[in-house]
Each structure stands twice: as structure tokens, then as C-alpha cells.
Homo-oligomer: A and B are copies of this chain.
Amino acid sequence: MHAIEEILRKKKIKVTPQRMAVYSILKQSKFHPNVEMIYQKLKPDFPAMSLATVYKTMDVLKKVGLIQELNVGEGGLRYDAQIRPHSHIYCKNCGKVVDVDHFPLEELQDSLLEKVKEETGFNILFVQLYFFGTCPECNDKKELLEASS
């Protein structure tokens, strides 16, 4: 039995094929997909599945702590099965979301969170760090376009 099944059963949450399928898409890829992307990817295997089920599944997986939600300022949200604290960079041109692995978000939490707690009096639950810009691929395309004009 997979780890996710145990986690769900322990919380009296039913293990359904839809939930397993959604989680496996997230676990396999570094894609940070949104609900619509997940829905489209599952369509071949689950042609009857409703978009509402994907939304509800994201909610369940988030609540049990198996995934994290990213908000890069598009309409909808992105999801990530990598729950270790790490930051992300977003391409404003093509919408790509990439991990920034070597950025010290974990150290930051340990060393500076206490300072922010003191300054604000807040009880801090988590931190999100986003970089915004344009990805190498988009930059290359733009250069080519400019060179040919």
C-alpha cells in the first residue's frame, strides 16, 4: 500500500481512483499544474471525471498536507507535491513555474522567522517567496525576433 493511502485511511478519508490519479500526476512531475491542466491530463483515463472532483481533490490533498498550493497571480492556483519549503520563479510570458532549489528558504525560516514574529507579533504558519520574470526560452525567442527586424 502506498504512503498516501495510509495517510488518507488514517483520517477516515476514502481512497478513490480519482484521488490517487490526481496525486500521482503531481508526484511525478515538476510541472506545478493548475486544476485545468490536471483535468485535461486525466481525461483519457477518466473520461467521466468532473472538474469539480479535481477541485475537491486538491482541497483534500492540501488539507492532509500532501500538497502545497502556489499563487503566482494568474486566475487560478498551481499545485506542487513537493511540500518541503522552497521558492518558485514564474515566467510572466509563458506561465512556466520553476523551482528555485538553492534558494535558502529553509534557512530563512529558521534564522529570521523569529525576528519577524517579534517585529509583527504575528504567529507565523508559513512563508511564500516568488520571483517574477521571463524564462530563458522566452528571452531567446525575443532576441531572435528583435535581431530579424
Q: A interface vs B, CB < 8 Å?
A: 69, 71, 73, 89, 91-92, 98, 100-104, 112, 115-116, 119-136, 139
Q: What chain B residues lie within 8 Å of A104 (beta carbons)?
A: 112
Select from chain B the residue with minimum beta-carbon distance to A117.
Answer: B133
Task: From B122, B132, B136, give the contact of A125 (CB < 8 A).
Answer: B132
Q: Which of B73, B89, B112, B127 contacts A122 (CB 8 A)?
A: B89
Given contacts A128-B129, A129-B129, contact A98 B120 (CB under 8 A): yes
Interface centre among A89, A122, A127 (most CB of B within 10 A): A122
CB-defined contacts of A115 to chain B, threshold 8 Å: 102-103
| Copies of the chain in the assembly | 2
Could you list some 15 contacts between A and B, CB below 8 A?
A89-B122, A89-B124, A92-B125, A98-B122, A100-B119, A121-B136, A122-B136, A123-B133, A123-B134, A123-B139, A124-B132, A125-B132, A125-B134, A126-B133, A127-B131
Chain B residues contacting A73 (CB-CB under 8 Å) are: 69, 71
CB distance from A12 to the nearest CB of B (A): 25
Q: Which residues of B contact A132 (CB under 8 A)?
A: 124-128
User: In the complex, are the beta carbons of A100 and B116 less than 8 A apart?
Assistant: yes
